[in-house]
Amino acid sequence: RWAGRQTSGDSPPATFNLDTCRLSSTQCSTLNSLHLRGHLSFHNTTEAARDWGRIKRLAPAGVLYPESVDDIVSLVRTAGLSRNLTVAAKGRGHSINGQAQALDGIVIEMSTLGGIKVMPQGDADCQVPYVDAAGGELWIDVLKATLKEGLAPRSWTDYLYLSVGGTLSNAGISGQTFRYGPEISNVLQLEVVTGSHMWCSYQGELVICSPSKQPELFFAVLGGLGQFGIIITARIILERAPQQVRWIRAIYTDFQSFRRDQEMLISQTDMTKVFDYVEGFVIINSDNPYNGWKSVPFSPEHINNSMIPKDAGSVMYYIELMKGFDFINIHVTEQKVEKMLSSLNYIRSLRFTTDVSYFQFLNRIHDVELSLSSQGLWDVPHPWLNLFIPRSSISVFDSQVFKQLISRDFSGPILIYPINQDKWDKHASAVIPEERVFYLVALLRNALPSSGPGLKSQMDDNSKILRICHDLNCKQYFPTYNTPKQWEQHFGSRWQNFIRLKKMFDPHAILSPGQNIFCRNQ
Ligand code: FAD
């Protein structure tokens, strides 16, 4: 399956009903004359104006459904020659604040340009197993394709129905990040359509880049919020996949024990003692099936109120761990895991363990999706807040936010886990705190239509938390800002370089306008 490499060749010009095009008549007729293998649509733009957040709705003028790289190159060049046309690549539209939207611009629906090619032995250029995945492919499909060869990427997100291009434009993090770095640290090569090509005067060019070939473009694009180019293909490093995993959750009531154990787990240098995945969660001290103590065991009947320590506060914590193994090694793994757990300080009666296939583990959030969807609770507004918090500030954050602002009606999970900074390539665009260890804190709230605090009140809470964060040197993951000054503060000492790279690879600010960083210019 490799649609991405086809070219438009002698495709007929895109013909659409010009009456549906609300751009200027010149722009409409230019777009109408593009030779496309796929097609451009100027009606039915509702989906492209919607995202996971359900907070912003910026209607594009049209949507491109590309079926070749040339379709994308042609569109970007045409946009570059226009006065004000912008272009946003859209993966799955799982952003929160309109980042993949383009008001009066063109959204590229990247899912129509598929392609996954697994190279189990690598090749002459690259002697490790890898997969070439189109930017619009979902990680779930990358996993399915690579598992057929007994292989899998090393670094993941918790949820796999996200696009390769969309996550690599941010970072892509999960419980493997402490060990292998984010998804952006596991990319060998990219094929990118730039907003402009630095050696040519025309707009839009397909460029192959890697740490040794066009490295500035390569690192700019990784974590670059879609500002420098459209990811057509990413070459991702693979490793052997285990058949099965031991999956453990262990509850704590004391924050300091919880964080000390997490930090010990991610700092292990003896590879025989390292878990393959380490995450943590804050839970509400209630029987809420989604974020209370009932959500921790793999079967909710394995916990009840009488098992919760009387001195537990309004919130508790749990560590989630995973160790992969093959069936043949099950007994050795069992012993090893028990030994690794023995030094942890969780509440001994509140540990839960299960064994599942590697696929089931990586795809674990899909079950939650199915359950919430069936109750009409999946497609609701999501005022999510994702933060990177320096290790030195995490205890203050716990006491000021988790212990004070999180109330029983908080709806949604709260993630908290430490990450090693040295696993991030400092050349990539992603912005992280300047400390050796920092925490991901994700407050993943749903604004339910019928109950709990409404969207406005939840967004006000987020503003309060962001004010606390300001003094704690935190960074937003999936940043949302409204002014250049705020963006400058976000990037800190890297801001001038970000601007320089923008001038180099997308000087007219055509790409990803929904990030709200740069204004389209001529
Ligand atoms: P989109 O929202 O479509 O796009 C995001 C940005 O990237 C936009 O600016 C867009 O223009 C740009 N873009 C999209 N495709 C391309 C491309 N091919 N080339 C260049 N730019 C492009 N993130 C994590 O890191 N870890 C998690 O565990 C995690 N879990 C999640 C769980 C759920 C249920 C959801 C909804 C999101 C989760 N995310 C997680 C967030 C996710 O990584 C972001 O939403 C990310 O933007 C990917 O979503 P997407 O593929 O839909 O991208």
Angle between helices 484-491 and 495-505 (to 10 degrees): 110
Tell me which residue of 101, 98, 71 sits closest to 86, measured CA to CA. 101
Which of 240, 267, 297 lies at the terminal end of a domain, its last residue? 240
Q: Same domain for 267 and 382?
A: yes
Rounded Cα gap, residues 29 and 42, in angstroms: 13
Is there a domain that residue 394 lies in? yes
* pLDDT for position 203: 58
Is 67 an annotated catalytic residue? no
DSSP assignment string, 197-243: -TTSSSB--EEEE-SSSSHHHHHHHTTSTTSSEEEEEEEEEEEEPPS
Which of 218, 240, 262 lies at the terminal end of a domain, its last residue? 240
* pLDDT for position 19: 73
Q: Which of 5-14, 148-157, 257-266, 276-285 has the lowest mean pLDDT?
A: 5-14
In the sheet where 106-109 sits, what is the strand order? 39-41, 62-65, 106-109, 87-90
pLDDT higher at 407 or 186? 186
Which tokens in the block code for residue 378? 């999946």
Average pLDDT value for the chain: 94
Domain interval for residue 201:
116-240
Q: Same domain for 292 and 223?
A: no
Find the 310 Cα to ligand 1 centroid distance in Å. 41
Is there a domain that residue 17 lies in? no
In this prediction, residue 20 has a pLDDT band, given cuts at 50, 70 and 90, of: confident
Which of 240, 260, 275 lies at the terminal end of a domain, its last residue? 240
Is there a domain that residue 53 lies in? no
Q: Same domain for 200 and 295?
A: no
From 279, 320, 461, 506, the catalytic residue: 279
Q: How many domains does the chain have?
A: 2
* pLDDT for position 53: 97
Q: Same domain for 320 and 369?
A: yes
From the alpha carbon of 171, which atom of ligand 1 is closest?
25
Is there a domain that residue 203 lies in? yes
Which tokens in the block code for residue 430? 């992603």
**CA atoms lying within 13 Å on the CB side of residue 387:** 23
Which tokens in the block code for residue 163? 């696009």
Find the 163 Cα to ligand 1 centroid distance in Å. 6
Residues 6+ apart with CB under 8 A from 271: none
Is 39 an annotated catalytic residue? no
Is there a domain that residue 198 lies in? yes
* pLDDT for position 202: 47
List the residue whose alpha carbon is closest to atom 43 of ligand 1: 167
Counting ligand 1 atoms within 8 A of each CB, the residue from 52, 55, 95 with the most, and so the one to mutate, is: 95
**Over pLDDT 90: what percentage of the chain?**
86
Q: Same domain for 209 and 312?
A: no
Rounded Cα gap, residues 461 and 467, in angstroms: 10
Which phi and psi angles does 79 have, rounded to 5°?
Answer: -60, -40
Is 158 an annotated catalytic residue? yes
Is there a domain that residue 12 lies in? no
Q: Same domain for 294 and 320?
A: yes
Q: Give 368-413 pLDDT, tens digit per residue.
A: 999 999 998 999 999 999 999 999 999 999 999 999 999 888 999 9
Is there a domain that residue 345 lies in? yes
* pLDDT for position 513: 98
Find the 462 Cα to ligand 1 centroid distance in Å. 20
Is there a domain that residue 511 lies in? no
Work out the average pLDDT over 351-365. Answer: 98
Q: Give 455-513 pLDDT, tens digit per residue.
A: 999 999 999 999 999 999 999 999 999 999 999 999 999 999 999 999 999 999 999 99
Q: Same domain for 216 and 360?
A: no
Residue located via tokens 């003692």:
273
Q: Same domain for 165 and 271?
A: no
| Burial group, residue 450, by CB count within 10 angstroms (0-12, 13-18, 19+) | exposed
Q: What is the largest CA-CA distance in the chain?
A: 74
In this prediction, residue 5 has a pLDDT band, given cuts at 50, 70 and 90, of: very low
Q: Same domain for 278 and 188?
A: no
How far apart, in Å, do the first and last CA atoms of the chain sit?
39
* pLDDT for position 3: 45
In this structure, what CATH number is given to the domain that contains residue 163?
A: 3.30.465.10
* pLDDT for position 344: 98
Q: Same domain for 192 and 253?
A: no
Q: Give 412-443 pLDDT, tens digit per residue.
A: 999 999 999 999 999 999 999 999 999 999 99
Q: Same domain for 340 and 399?
A: yes
In this prediction, residue 10 has a pLDDT band, given cuts at 50, 70 and 90, of: low
Residue located via tokens 């300047």:
434
For 341-406, the three-class secondary structure string (H helix, E strand, C coil) is HHCCCCCCCCEEEEEEEHHHHHCHHHHHHHHHHHCCCCCCCCCCEEEEEEHHHHHHHHHHHHCCCC
Prediction pTM value = 0.96
Rounded Cα gap, residues 517 and 198, in angstroms: 21
Q: Give 134-185 pLDDT, tens digit per residue.
A: 999 999 999 999 999 999 999 999 999 999 999 999 999 999 999 999 999 9
In this structure, what CATH number is given to the domain that contains residue 378?
A: 3.40.462.10
Q: Same domain for 348 and 396?
A: yes
* pLDDT for position 15: 60
Alpha-carbon torsion, ordered 159, 162, 166, 168, to 10 deg: 50
Counting ligand 1 atoms within 8 A of each CB, the residue from 139, 157, 387 with the most, and so the one to mutate, is: 157
Find the 171 Cα to ligand 1 centroid distance in Å. 9
Check: CB of residue 52 under 8 Å from CB of residue 14: no
